Amino acid sequence: FAKRLQANVFMPDYRLAPEHPYPTPINDAFEAYRWLLEQGHDPGSIVFSGDSAGGAMVVSLMVAARNAGLPMPAGGVAISPWANLEHTGASMRNRDGIDPIVSKEALDLIARRFLNGALANNPEASPVFADVRGLPPILVQIGENEVMLSDAIRLATHLAENRVRTSLEVWPNMFHVWPIFADILPEGEQALVSAVRFLEDVLLR
């Protein structure tokens, strides 16, 4: 993104579970965004992007910023978002064992460690349950082989039904966070090109 958008990238080193469970990672990332604004950066020149848990955090951070009265970023890209920690989507069953990167069993364990007793349907942790009204444009990219497929589609639907400009890309045969292999995987390169095109558009609004 830095090279393709000719932009500066700020990557907050937020604390992670299990040592620092929910809501610490979200709070840390929120404070990083607040700090950027305090440094005088125009929110219209800022976009969020993340993958997996970070993909869900794209939405959760926007919700937290809106609730705190902070200005919204220009938009965001959620790649393979882990958007529903209840793991109730159909793909958690019918894609389990197909996705080579993630399994439902592993996600159940990680979710318990992350939540540390909090409810899986907490809207901060699972943005499919959040009040997303008033958020800026969001692109959701998900691989068709992912166990997270159904819940990512649910997230995109939830955003769209609440009047958030939403783009959803489902990539056939792709697995969890496939764009990370863009150097060797044509579909990864194509997904990055598409995400950059989306971000360029929202930054020019």
Which stretch of 2-6, 87-91, 146-150, 172-176 has the lowest confidence by average pLDDT? 2-6
Given 49, 60, 91, 176, the catalytic residue? 176
Percent of the chain exceeding pLDDT 70 equals 100
52 is catalytic: yes
* Mean pLDDT score, 99-121: 96
pLDDT of residue 40: 97
Query: Model confidence at 194, in pLDDT bands (50, 70, 90)?
Result: very high
Strands (E), the chain: 47-51, 75-79, 138-143, 166-171
**126 in catalytic set:** no
The reply to whether 176 belongs to the active site is: yes
* Residue among 146, 150, 167, 169 flagged as catalytic: 146
Confidence of residue 205 (pLDDT cuts 50, 70, 90): confident
The arithmetic mean of pLDDT across residues 56-72, rounded, is 98
Question: What is this structure's pTM?
Answer: 0.97
Residue among 49, 52, 60, 80 flagged as catalytic = 52
